[in-house]
């Protein structure tokens, strides 16, 4: 079990620079086990460590794994250009922790977005070699037909791709909505595939990654949660 001084613990959890964290501790803002700790050099084991800061309890986490139900009009970028970044939805300390989106959703696409400060996790989840299916619900301008779903299953040619791209599965939900499952993560892929098949995507929502579904997480738009080990296992390739 690792043991760290209290200032390093607060810094690692995204509460600011070591200097600022030392000031918080000296000012009596940190409580552990019901007792106020004012010595920043005090050492604590990090496994299962809970502490209270500004009256709110936090659990020490070496890394954070977050699921967000992304609303529309937020950019999946640390340096957004036209809309607020998704990090503005989360508490400020996640920015200090260098939390980043895992992949990207377009600014007008909603639904399940993973975020983490674990570089290995981000790389693994983003790698096309892992073949992790992602489930989308697309709303279309023109009616959904068997011919349309058939085209998406057979594969459509996009002008900058060497070979046709096909959906892993595709089914009609109602007259103007379909569910499409993709393993690739190409730029604007669902929208471009629908356009290539002669339709237009007017709204897009990601409902699942692997076996982790937004419905099971019970997150309203704009809400987020930590993912536990069992939920992270659902992100494994099928």
Which residues are identified as catalytic?
Answer: 106
Cα-Cα-Cα-Cα dihedral of 225, 226, 232, 238, to 10°?
A: 10
Dist. CA 111–CA 136, nearest whole Å: 9
Q: Do the Cβ atoms of 149 and 172 come closer than 8 Å? A: yes
Q: Is 70 exposed, middle or buried (0-12, 13-18, 19+ CB in 10 A)?
A: buried
What are φ and ψ of residue 220, in 5° steps?
Answer: -75, 165
Q: Is 93 helix (H, G, I), strand (E, B) or coil?
A: helix
DSSP string, 189-207: HHHHHHHHTT--EEEEEEE
């Amino acid at each position: 079990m690792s043991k760290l001084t209290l200032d390093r613990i607060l810094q690692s959890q995204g509460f600011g620079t070591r200097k600022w964290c030392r000031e918080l501790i000296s000012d009596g803002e940190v409580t552990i086990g019901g007792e106020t700790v004012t010595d920043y050099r005090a050492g604590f084991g990090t496994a299962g460590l809970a502490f209270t800061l500004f009256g709110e309890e936090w659990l020490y986490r070496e890394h954070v794994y977050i699921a967000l139900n992304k609303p529309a009009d937020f950019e999946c970028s640390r340096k957004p250009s036209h809309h607020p970044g998704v990090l503005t939805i989360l508490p400020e300390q996640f920015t200090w922790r260098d939390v980043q989106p895992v992949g990207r959703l377009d600014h007008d696409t909603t639904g399940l977005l993973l975020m983490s400060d674990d570089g290995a996790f981000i790389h693994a989840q983003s790698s096309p070699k892992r073949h992790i299916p992602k489930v989308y619900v697309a709303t279309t301008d023109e009616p959904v037909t068997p011919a349309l779903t058939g085209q998406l299953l057979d594969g459509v040619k996009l002008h900058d791709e060497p070979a046709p791209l096909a959906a892993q599965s595709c089914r009609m939900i109602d007259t103007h909505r379909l569910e499409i499952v993709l393993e690739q993560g190409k730029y604007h892929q669902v929208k471009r595939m629908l356009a290539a098949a002669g339709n237009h995507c007017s709204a897009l929502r990601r409902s699942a990654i692997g076996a982790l579904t937004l419905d099971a997480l019970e997150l309203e738009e704009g809400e987020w949660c930590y993912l536990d080990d069992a939920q992270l296992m659902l992100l494994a390739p099928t």
